[in-house]
Structure 1
Amino acid sequence: MIVNHRHARPGARRRSAYPYALYAPAAVVYLVIFLVPTVMAFYFALTRWTLFDSTFVGLQNFSDFLAEQNLRIGFQNTIFYAVVTSGMKVVLGLLLGVLLTSRLRLRGFLRSVVFFPVLVSTVAVGITFSALLRPDTGLVNRVLTLAGVDGPDWLGDANTALLSVALVDVWKGVGLATVIYIAGIMSIPTEYYQAVMVDGGGAWHRFRHVTLPLSWPATYSVIILSFIGGLRSFDLIWTMTRGGPGFTSDTIASIIYKQYQAGFFGLSTAGNVLLFLVVTAIVVPLNYVLGKRQVAV
């Protein structure tokens, strides 16, 4: 029997187009929520605008934002904050993931306890810890006083303000890192652990030679997600310190918000575009390097 390919082609084309039609709703949402606002942000970054009109000024907004006197401090704080929070989430998330995949009787309850802070509003967490870290009436310093230690002004001292916020960020976000690690560890075949036990290896050897290298995909995900979140962090910092004392805990995001508050909408939009470019310039190479490491593992 001879098949007429001329008549078969239109049907084949329709069949091949069928799976792509399923992407259409997601593509529309992505276009409306991400691509269109991004293009508009790039345009308005080149203007001085208000709610009712705009004036094209070219690259003047970028020049003015880069000349901001606190930008260097904000950039340093942003990198410090991202490195500290992502690093601690990786370490603590891995340790908690190992603990909560072991044979603990209360591991289900402990998993819920660890994940609970992720569900709490960031603003609520910031307000709560602002009260707990007060120098005179805060619970943290009261406990330290009972132990004979003079607690500092955690949020009012330039040396401790940003680090204090970073530690609160870790407390809130380590639950998500732990869940990712739990999923990664539970996906490791048990045969690998049995092989180490047959060779006489103990718990440390199982962790060092099986859990640590084979949970690299989880580590990769936690690093990327935490680092991006750290670079973009704003709400917790603003709730707890508002960039203070002075400008010592300002990040790029808080500097941008202060420009919005002052009514410099074009300037702050240029700052948002620059932040987007900074995050992209850091995360894309990081993703490439970590991705190669993931393939190697």
Structure 2
Amino acid sequence: MTSPPSAHKARRSSAAQAYPAWFFIPAAVVFGVLFLVPMLSSFYFALTRWTLFESTFIGLENFEQFFLEPFLIKGLVNTLIYAVVTSGLKVVFGMALAVVLTSPIAFRDLLRSIIFFPVLVSTVGVGLTFTVLMHPDHGLINQVLASVGIEGPSWLTDPRYALLSVALVDVWKGVGLATLIYIAGIVAIPTEYFEAASIEGANWRQQFTRVTLPLARPATVTVVILSFISGLRSFDLIWAMTRGGPGFTTDVIASVIYKQYQAGFYGLSTAGNVVLFVLISALVVPLYLRLNRKESQS
């Protein structure tokens, strides 16, 4: 027996009244003060030559000078490489660890805590720690490799390995969050799907490719988007470990901007931040729409 239309309207109206407009005012105020106001202010100050006490409107001159920065292209390429490598590895390792940590293994809860722990550690602290561990002569990593007859590389001083070395540390620190998201996605899959696959004779590999992987797609989209944004914005770990060196081989856009700020070019560095914001939006928004379109079609 179906409910009359008046009952449906009453339920809709009561649901709409459950959260009145004023309920959202505190969140809107916080969002405006902490995000909208600084963002709009940065757009204005990017068009000025400013100090702490005064500003002079100069139009697009800061943007013109920023795009003439000699190491901007190198920083852009490094930023894209860093973002792709870190996000890709977080997806792969996060999914693999989540599959293991949702299976009936011993000390599962303890292992989950251990995997997630690096996420809670200070990024600068992680950077300084791995700078010591990756020292070419006295670092623990190369000493362990030497004990088995392998000559370890100069992780952070060789231009061939420096950016990749920092990216791997970033993955080590951030894979715990990706694993947590994947665990939530896998646990949310109804067990009936796995039971049906087992009855049909599917092995663990077939269950992963035909059940876990497609049904955990929302988690994959979340991990990809968050990791890609984090990679594009990355600065603190790179600065703590290499300061953009050796030379400019690990400079990313954020470190180029910071060096301009250090030199006292505040308007120029603000324009760089606006460019970085536009770049992230131009890359992430289409990626997000494309991933969600595929999800809705699947």
TM-score, with normalisation over the residues of structure 2? 0.94
Question: Corresponding residue for 1:3?
Answer: none
Sequence identity percentage: 62
Match of 2:166 in 1: 165
Counterpart code for 2:124: V
String of CA shifts for 1:197-247, please: whole Å, max 9, x gaps.
Answer: 111111111111100000000000000000000000000000000000000
> 2: CA distance between counterparts of 1:120 and 1:167?
16
How far off its partner does 1:19 sit? 1.4
Give deviations 1:151-198, integer Å, cap 9, x for gaps. 111000111000000000000000000000000000000110111111
Which SS does the other structure have where 2:248 is aligned?
coil
Where does 1:127-206 land on structure 2 (aligned, <5 Å)?
Answer: 127-206=128-207
Superposed CA offset, 1:102-129 (max 9, x none): 0001110000000000000000000000
Counterpart in 1 of 2:93?
Answer: 92
CA distance in 1, matches of 2:18, 2:198: 52
Which residue number corresponds to residue 264 of structure 1? 265
Call closer, same or farther: CA 1:81–1:18 in 2, change over 3 Å.
Answer: closer
- Distance in 2, matches of 1:237 and 1:294, equals 34
Runs of 4+ in 1 over 2 A off after TM superposition: 15-18
Secondary structure in 2 matching 1:48? strand
Structure 1 runs not aligned, ≥5 long: 1-11
Match of 1:5 in 2: none
Alignment of 1:278-293 (within 5 A): 278-293=279-294
Q: Are positions 1:34 and 2:23 aligned together?
A: no
> Which whole-Å deviations, capped at 9, do the CAs of 1:253-287 have from their partners, x for residues lacking one?
00000001000000000000000000000000000
What CA distance in whole angstroms lies between the structure 2 residues aligned with 1:232 and 1:153?
A: 26
CA deviation string 1:35-72 (max 9, x = no partner)? 00001000000000000001111000000000000000
Q: Residue 104 of structure 1 aligns with which residue? A: 105
Distance 1:17 1:28 in 2: 20
Normalised TM-score (structure 1): 0.94
Shift of 1:296: 2.3
CA distance in 1, matches of 2:140, 2:96: 27
What do residues 3-41 of structure 1 show as CA deviations (whole Å, max 9, x unaligned)? xxxxxxxxx9xx859611110000000111100000100
Q: Given the superposition, is the C-alpha separation of residues 284 and 198 from structure 1 closer, same or farther in structure 2, using an over 3 Å criterion? A: same
Output the CA distance in 1 between the equivalents of 2:131 and 2:145.
16
Which deviations, in whole Å up to 9, do the C-alpha atoms of 1:122-142 show, x marking residues without a partner?
Answer: 000000000000000000100
Q: How many residues align?
A: 284
**Equivalent position of 2:5 in the other structure:** none
- SS of 1:246's equivalent in the other structure is coil
Give structure 2 stretches of 5+ with no counterpart.
1-12
| Partner residue, 1:77 | 78
Whole-angstrom distance in 1 between the partners of 2:246 and 2:206: 47
Structure 2 distance, partners of 1:18, 1:183, is: 27
CA separation in 2, counterparts of 1:154 and 1:52? 43
Which stretch of structure 1 is more off in the superposition, 279-288 or 146-155?
Answer: 146-155
Q: Give the whole-Å Cα distance in 2 for the aligned partners of 1:137 and 1:147.
A: 16
Q: Distance in 1 between matches of 2:157 and 2:267?
A: 32
CA RMSD of aligned residues (A): 1.2
Counterpart of 1:255? 256
Which amino acid is 1:82 matched to? A
Q: CA deviation at 1:88?
A: 0.2
Alignment partners' CA distance in 2, 1:244 and 1:296: 45
For residue 150 of structure 1, what is the amino acid of its counterpart?
E
How far, CA to CA, are the matches of 2:106 and 2:294 in structure 1?
35
